[in-house]
A and B are shown apart, each in its own frame.
Chain A
Amino acid sequence: MPAQTTNEVKSKLLPAGTQAPDFTLNSKPDQKISLSALRGKPVILAFYPADWSPVCGDQMALYNEVLPEFNKYGAELLGVSVDGAWCHRAFSEARKLRFPLLADFEPKGAVAQKYGAYRDGDGITERALFVIDKNGVIAWSYCSPIGVNPGADGILQALEDLPK
């Protein structure tokens, strides 16, 4: 693991106030999800570098546990990485994930690029979080150092801060 810093990395993410770029990605080998189809409720978009990180309670496993708290705000959670739909399926089954993982696989990282969350050269996405309001506007974004699991506190605060 690279040396971890506690400083927020210098971020090129789309900031709050920006219309969230629409996308359609595979959530299963035979199923797609479009962001625009979720209009009307808050959406949490969690970009993460890769499936199968070798720790207990990694970021996606944590969110799986915190899902009931996200649901209190009526929010939909979408995990996004450059892994393919079959890889996501195996990972999701192994971790018993109860929310969709989207495959930003072809063209690789294209959605992450639009959100300013792609790491050129590394070929993976940042650990980047977005909370999108019910009108499809980014209400909050945060880029965590790649080695640091950002937890869920920022997301919950952003959901809390959405106009009721």
Chain B
Amino acid sequence: MSNLKNPVTPTDHSQGPEDAPATLVEYGDYQCPHCVHAHSIVKRVQKHFGKQVRFVFRNFPLSQIHPEAEGAAETAEFAAAHGKFWEMHDLLFENQEQLSDSLFLQLAKKLKLPIDAMESALESGEFATRVGSDFSGGVRSGVNGTPTFFINGRRHDGPFEYPDLVAAIEDAIGPAKAVVNG
């Protein structure tokens, strides 16, 4: 059984309350088709559990089989530096079939990010260290492909369809509480 070796910190990209009973960490790759599939499932899971789940995304680009994955990850990190990580994260998955340097710039324009700065950040690999440290931490934690999920620090093995993830989170925290508006 593999456990998350590097705990979630404020430098992580996260959605949901810090003190949520469940933390779902995903190691993903923007060029991985299974990750696109997981992307929509995670959104449904977040909706289902509301404030009971905090979701964290970390980079795990499989660059040898997915040549655009690293650039996509660095683009998302660049967006994060400008407070737009999740917007870029969604756009990258929604446009997975067109991933390329020109798409990255197009998406940056769409999010009104400084294009020149982004071009030079991608060129110089300014965010490569961040992406690399996500990757190494993932490897050390037993990430074994993409996507790999951890629920409250324990690796989730097996299928990750909506009912599977819901069941696994319920195993960790009990059934979802009715979402109270407001």
Contact = CB atoms under 8 A, between A and B. Distances in A.
B145 A149 contact: yes
Interface residues of A, number: 25
B62 A149 contact: no
Interface of B: 1-2, 5, 29, 32-34, 62-65, 135-136, 139-146, 157-158
Q: Which of A7, A62, A154 has the most CB of B within 10 A?
A: A62
Interface in A17-42: none
The SS class assigned to the A binding surface is loop
B84 to A, nearest CB: 27
24 contacts: A6-B1, A7-B1, A56-B62, A56-B65, A57-B29, A58-B145, A59-B144, A61-B62, A61-B65, A62-B62, A64-B64, A65-B62, A65-B135, A69-B136, A69-B139, A95-B65, A148-B157, A150-B142, A151-B139, A151-B142, A151-B144, A152-B139, A153-B141, A156-B139
Contacts of B143: 151
B65 A153 contact: no
Given A62-B62, A69-B139, A152-B142, 12 more contacts: A57-B62, A57-B145, A61-B65, A64-B64, A65-B62, A65-B64, A66-B139, A148-B157, A149-B144, A151-B2, A153-B2, A153-B5
The SS class assigned to the B binding surface is loop
A61 B64 CA distance: 8
Contacts of A55: 34, 145
Given A56-B62, A56-B146, A65-B64, A153 B140 contact: yes
A63 B5 CA distance: 19
Nearest to B62: A57
A7 B43 CA distance: 30
A98 B142 CA distance: 21
